[in-house]
Amino acid sequence: MRTLTLQFLQQHELDRLDEEEKVNKLLSIVKSNKILVLDGRLKAEEEAALIKMTMEQINKRFKGIEIATLNPSTKTVQGLSKLRLDMASFLLGRRQGLTVIGPASIVKEMRKDPNKILLFTTRK
**pLDDT tens digit string along 17-34?**
999 999 999 999 999 999
Pick the CATH number of 5-121 from 3.40.50, 3.40.630, 3.30.950, 1.10.3470: 3.30.950
Among 3-12, 29-38, 80-89, which stretch is predicted with the lowest mean pLDDT? Answer: 80-89
Distance CA 54, CA 27 (A): 7
**pLDDT tens digit string along 74-86?**
555 566 666 666 6
Give the start-to-end residue ranges of the domains of the chain: 5-121
Report the Cα 29 to chain-centroid distance in Å. 12
Model confidence pTM above 0.85: no
- The pairing of strands 34-38 and 5-9 is parallel
Q: Is the predicted pLDDT of residue 93 greater than 60, yes or no?
A: no
